[in-house]
Amino acid sequence: MSGLTHLDEEGSARMVDVGAKMVTARQAVAQGRITMSRDAAAAIRAGSVQKGDVLAVARVAGIMAAKKTSDLIPLCHPLPLSKVEIDLALDEAGVTATATAATAGQTGVEMEALTAVSATLLTVYDMAKALDKRMVIGDIRLIAKTGGKSGDWHA
């Protein structure tokens, strides 16, 4: 039909068959940001947010989300992740989240890294929304991937 990998000959959605692909080490890094008021950022830094340790809970949420990506994104393959790492950088205007996901598999982990960043930032919002309902989540993007047939890529 269109040459798109997730469509069959009739144009219906399908999960791509990766069975014939070689197993290779794959890694993806994604990043995103949530901006907020200075007061909300200061409360996160001070550990005074009523719901608890915002960054610790957000980090765990990101890891959990990466592991559940195939349950959330309909055509993603379930992958045995060997690594999910969430780095959080808090500054006076918000939090930048960077997620790294890795596997040895037949398909990449870009969606796992992107899902991890998204859930991490959504959790920051949930934990701190009583302090600032105007927080903005954005700039979620893939910044690097390694492995697989298409090789390495960096933004």
Closest CA to 32 of 108, 127, 122, 129: 122
Residue 111, marked binder:
yes
Residue 112, marked binder:
yes
Q: How far apart are CA 95 and CA 113, in angstroms?
A: 17
Q: What residues are annotated to the active site?
A: 126
Closest CA to 151 of 28, 42, 17, 43: 28
Q: Is 34:140 a contact under the CB 8 Å cutoff?
A: no
SS3 helix, strand, coil % of the chain, rounded to 5?
30, 30, 40
Q: Which residues are annotated as a binding site?
A: 75-77, 111-112
Q: Which residues are annotated as a binding site for substrate?
A: 75-77, 111-112
